[in-house]
Amino acid sequence: MSQNDFDMNLTSGVSAFESKHFAKAMTLLSPLAANGNPDAQYRLAVMFQNGLGHVKNAAEAYKWMRAAAEQGHALAQHGLGFMHLQGECAGKDEAEAAKWFRLAAEQGLAGSQMTLGMLYEQGLGVPKDEAEAKKWYQRADSGN
């Protein structure tokens, strides 16, 4: 597949995903995800996790979410954090959740910053630390 074809399929796949044509999105994004595209991997994970365009599949959702997260995709890192925090598609592991939320928070994702603040406030997966919680809440509020 040429770079042009790859880019066109990614654009078409993302467009299909955004317009809720999940079966078409699955067809277009699957080969791109298999070739290592983190955006395609993240969207596949969301579709498998929620049964969009395909039967729900927790193992596939986790596989693709982790693949995208490991490549630095902030939304996938956030998603993987929630999988571990909730025990959905992955084993419940608050320390592992905190690790992924921190990676996404450090990229400026406000939702991850808020969640990381909450983890520090409650001492979930990290030592309870009011100052650290406040720092992450403030970063989320300031948009950094």
pTM score: 0.92
The string of pLDDT tens digits covering residues 98-138 is 999 999 999 999 999 999 999 999 999 999 999 999 999 99
Mean pLDDT throughout 78-99? 97
CA dihedral 128, 131, 136, 139 (to 10 degrees): 180
Would you state the pLDDT for residue 144? 67
Counting residues of the chain whose pLDDT is more than 70, the rounded percentage is: 97
Task: Indicate if the pLDDT at residue 1 is higher than 80.
Answer: no
Mean pLDDT throughout 69-89? 97
Give the tokens for residue 127. Answer: 């030592």
Contact predicate 130/122, CB 8 Å: no
Counting Cα atoms < 13 Å in the Cβ hemisphere of 76 gives: 23
Give the tokens for residue 95. Answer: 């320390």
Would you state the pLDDT for residue 8? 83
Q: Write down the domain spans for the chain.
A: 1-71, 93-144
